[in-house]
Amino acid sequence: MTTVFTTMASPLGTLLLSGTLDPDGGFALAAVTAPGQKGAVDTPQDGWRPDPDALAPAVEQLSAYFAGERTSFDLPLAPVGTPFRRRIWAALDDIPYGSTLSYGQLADAAGESKLAVRAVGGAVGANPLLIVRPCHRVKGANGSLTGFAAGIDAKRWLLAHESGDGRLF
């Protein structure tokens, strides 16, 4: 497998998109990273090669999302994580555009005990597919904007963008 990357301008700053390219030409998106994102690789690594063509569908879909023309993503995904984290990340896909869930509700949706809320929070915080897997739609039990790896301002912007009325959270 070869890791390929490209960058794109966004309202959150320049995003780094990376993915895997198999020998048969199959591609899967592995990460979308915002500038300064906690715990994420935000610069291309040694051995990665630029390939804007392979990542063009992801760039097109993210651009349409930011333009308000797309509310979901249809991309092959290949995030790297434990089975628990992958289960939590997959549950993020089911949070409707413009909606939010609490960490406890997300735990329940993923088939986990609400007692696992801290572990669920850790998995959400480690989501490598920012925006595509909508971790920004998860809030605290009291509705508060809790941590977001790309920063609370970015989370606030994404939720306002999805609200359709520009209201701030």
Count how many Cα atoms sit within 13 Å of the Cα of residue 145 in the half-sphere of its side chain: 16
**What distances in angstroms separate CA 71 from CA 9, 36, 82, 99, 131, one per listed residue?**
19, 25, 27, 11, 11
Active site residue 65: no
Given 135, 149, 154, 159, the catalytic residue: 135
DSSP state of 44: P
Amino acid sitting at position 105: Q
Cα-only R_g, the chain: 16
Residue 158 DSSP symbol: H
Length of the chain: 169
Q: Calculate the alpha carbon distances from 10 to 44, 96, 104, 149 in Å.
A: 18, 22, 31, 16
Whether the CB-CB separation of 105 and 124 falls below 8 Å is answered with: no
Tokens of 80: 């790297």
Q: Which residues are known to be catalytic?
A: 135
